[in-house]
């Protein structure tokens, strides 16, 4: 039976099964048949599958599936066997994806707007690796051009200075001279090594490549790409400048790649940076930009299409962030001068809370980072709530092992798991591979923190309703095995988010 693409979902109402599909409706429409009859045929073919306790037809042809207890108990054994590898898939078949994210101008501390893409890009990389892709985390340095000269003016302190803050005062002490370009370039090097890279490490992000715009220009790669586009007649000369035919790919107008002064524009160099990443072996590129760059999307995709790389680039836009403290928006930091830096936020909230709060909202929505909530040690704080479950799990296992030093996971007593709360917990545990597969497909990483919360709610309910250390030693062992499975899955989930799984709190 050749079934066209259909939706399989987890119904909000448990009365409609653990999973539901509209496959019969899709197939009936394709073949001109009655949906109910098609559904009955599908159910008949699946009736002998031990994975299901029950399969029902609902409405005009929806099919609801209920997982069997036997299957669910078997999944606990699989989790225990796979351990830290549980959730790993082979969807990517080793294909390489280059993710460019943060990539803030190295002219000052990284502000929270740029940094919002940090956890997003890093966690997306983790998910893609778990799904079987090879991933390169790339940071593109805009280390040449007008903003570097402005940094030079700011360090020297003349009338054209624009950047302000404690970091400029510190640079002024370290850098001497009057050559704007040299002063600016020295400032960029210091900011990169002493501010940007440490901030990224503080956020738990390690980049594989720091791609320099200056180096791309100096080694001729920018000229090479632009000359190729000239030969293909995608670049033309007008008013002494060179223009890319961006309007041919839906942009509102053509764009300058070389100014009349001979200076390359950021866009001109950016075309070369994307080609460079592809030439390093990437099968696909993902860029994470701030929403203020939405106007650049069509032009860069058009340039790659002109180079022969159509549909090889995906762009995720992140919306703006406000930090709320004591009910008021934080406007600036002493160090950065005009905005809240990621260093300030991590100092106030910690790495784990910063990453979790950035991840929990879809990148295409504006977000308020509630600093007071992030610092609360209560169930109202989602990070604390999730990490407290990790500590509770470790405490349960540690107490029993102290009492029973010869305790080992055996998988022999799982048939004793029969309670609804036990089954509900297992159903959450086995969702992790699905979450990874779905996220690898559409990049919606906010699934992970939501999944972590769903998993922890199921665990707390299990803990409240099912006595783990019971008088029945076999039942105790079975429930401890379920607790160990929960530990594995929660740890794997937190690892994907780059958030710690504490043993004590």
Task: Identify the burial level of 231 via C-beta atoms within 10 angstroms of its C-beta, where 0-12 means exposed, 13-18 middle and 19 or more buried.
Answer: exposed
Instruction: State the pLDDT confidence band at 61, using cuts at 50, 70 and 90.
Output: confident
Domain ranges of the chain: 8-67, 70-90+378-497, 101-214+319-375
Fold of 101-214+319-375: Rossmann fold (3.40.50)
Q: What is the mean pLDDT of residues 159-172?
A: 93
* C-alpha distance across the termini of the chain, in Å: 54
CATH number at 70-90+378-497: 1.10.730.10
pLDDT of residue 23: 76
CB-CB contact of 449 with 356 (8 Å): yes
Task: Identify the burial level of 218 via C-beta atoms within 10 angstroms of its C-beta, where 0-12 means exposed, 13-18 middle and 19 or more buried.
Answer: exposed
pLDDT digits (tens, 9 = 90+) for 292-344: 999 999 999 999 999 999 999 999 999 999 999 999 998 876 666 778 899 99
- Tell me the three-class secondary structure of 157-195, residue by residue: CCCCCCCCCHHHHHHHHHCCCCCHHHHHHHHHHHHHHHH
Mean residue pLDDT of the chain comes to 92
What is the DSSP secondary-structure string of 29-53?
HHHT--HHHHHHHHHHHHTT-TTEE
Q: For residues 130 and 91, give the distance between their C-alpha atoms in angstroms, rounded to a whole number.
A: 9
What is the DSSP secondary-structure string of 406-455?
T-----SSGGG---HHHHHHHHHHTTHHHHHHHHHHH--TTHHHHHHHHH
Which stretch of DSSP H or E encloses residue 209?
A: strand 209-212
Answer yes or no: CATH 3.30.1360.70 is held by domain 8-67. Answer: yes
pLDDT of residue 138: 98
Q: What is the mean pLDDT of residues 55-62?
A: 80
pLDDT digits (tens, 9 = 90+) for 245-262: 999 999 999 999 999 999
pLDDT of residue 404: 62
* Closest to 264 measured CA to CA, from 313, 306, 230, 218: 218
What percent of the chain has a predicted confidence (pLDDT) above 90?
77
CB-CB contact of 477 with 107 (8 Å): no
pLDDT digits (tens, 9 = 90+) for 340-391: 899 999 999 999 999 999 999 999 999 999 999 999 999 999 999 999 999 9
CB-CB contact of 68 with 53 (8 Å): yes
In this model, does residue 34 exceed pLDDT 80?
no
Q: What is the mean pLDDT of residues 45-63?
A: 80
Q: Are both 70-90+378-497 and 101-214+319-375 of the same fold? A: no
pTM: 0.92
What is the DSSP secondary-structure string of 224-254?
HHHHHHHHTT-EEEETTEEEE-GGGGT-SS-
Instruction: State the pLDDT confidence band at 409, using cuts at 50, 70 and 90.
Output: low
Q: How far is CA 13 from CA 6, 17, 20, 64, in A?
A: 20, 8, 11, 11
CB-CB contact of 316 with 443 (8 Å): yes
pLDDT of residue 468: 92
pLDDT of residue 334: 62
SS3 content of the chain, % helix, strand, coil (to 5): 50, 15, 35
* Strand partners for 134: 96
């Amino acid at each position: 039976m050749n079934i066209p693409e259909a939706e399989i979902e987890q119904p909000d109402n448990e009365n409609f099964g653990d999973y539901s599909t509209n496959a019969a409706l899709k197939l009936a429409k394709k073949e001109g048949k009655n949906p109910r009859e098609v559904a009955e045929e599908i159910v008949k073919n699946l009736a002998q599958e031990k994975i299901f306790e029950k399969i029902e037809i609902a409405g005009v042809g929806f099919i609801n599936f209920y997982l069997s207890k036997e299957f669910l108990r078997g999944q606990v054994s699989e989790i225990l066997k796979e351990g830290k590898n549980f959730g790993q898939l082979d969807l990517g078949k080793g294909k390489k994806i280059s993710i460019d994210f943060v990539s803030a101008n190295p002219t000052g501390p990284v502000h929270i707007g740029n940094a919002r893409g940090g956890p997003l890009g890093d966690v997306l990389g983790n998910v893609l690796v778990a799904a079987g892709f090879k991933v390169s985390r790339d940071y593109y340095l805009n280390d040449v051009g007008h903003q570097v000269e402005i940094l030079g003016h700011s360090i020297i302190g003349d009338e054209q200075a624009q950047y302000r803050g404690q970091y400029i005062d510190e640079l002024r002490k370290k850098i001497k001279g009057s050559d704007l370009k040299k002063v600016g370039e020295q400032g960029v090097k210091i900011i990169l090594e002493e501010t940007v890279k440490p901030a990224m490490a503080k956020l738990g992000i390690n980049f594989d490549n720091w791609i320099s715009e200056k180096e791309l220009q100096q080694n001729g790669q920018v000229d090479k790409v632009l000359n190729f586009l000239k030969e293909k007649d995608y670049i033309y000369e007008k008013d002494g400048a060179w223009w890319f035919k961006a309007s041919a790919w839906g942009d509102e107008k053509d764009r300058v790649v070389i100014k009349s002064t001979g200076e390359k524009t950021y866009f001109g160099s950016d075309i070369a940076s994307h080609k460079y990443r592809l030439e390093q072996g990437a099968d696909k590129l993902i860029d994470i930009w701030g929403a203020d760059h939405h106007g650049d999307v069509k032009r860069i995709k058009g340039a790659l299409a002109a180079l022969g790389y159509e549909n090889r680039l995906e762009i995720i836009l992140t919306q703006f962030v406000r930090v709320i403290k004591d009910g008021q928006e934080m406007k600036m930091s002493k160090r950065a001068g005009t905005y809240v830096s990621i260093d300030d936020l991590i100092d106030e909230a910690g790495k784990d809370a910063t990453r979790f709060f950035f991840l929990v909202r879809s990148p295409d929505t504006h977000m308020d980072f509630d600093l007071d909530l992030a610092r609360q040690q209560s169930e109202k704080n989602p990070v604390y709530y999730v990490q407290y479950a990790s500590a509770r799990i470790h405490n349960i296992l540690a107490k029993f092992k102290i009492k029973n030093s010869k305790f080992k996971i055996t998988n022999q007593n799982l048939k004793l798991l029969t309670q609804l709360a036990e089954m509900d917990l297992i159903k959450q545990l086995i969702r992790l591979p699905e979450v990874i597969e779905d996220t690898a497909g559409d990049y919606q990483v906010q699934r992970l923190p939501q999944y972590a919360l769903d998993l922890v709610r199921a665990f707390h309910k299990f803990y409240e309703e099912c006595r783990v250390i019971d008088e029945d030693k076999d039942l105790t062992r079975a429930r401890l095995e379920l607790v160990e499975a929960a530990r594995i899955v929660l740890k794997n989930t937190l690892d994907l988010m780059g958030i710690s799984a504490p043993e004590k709190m």
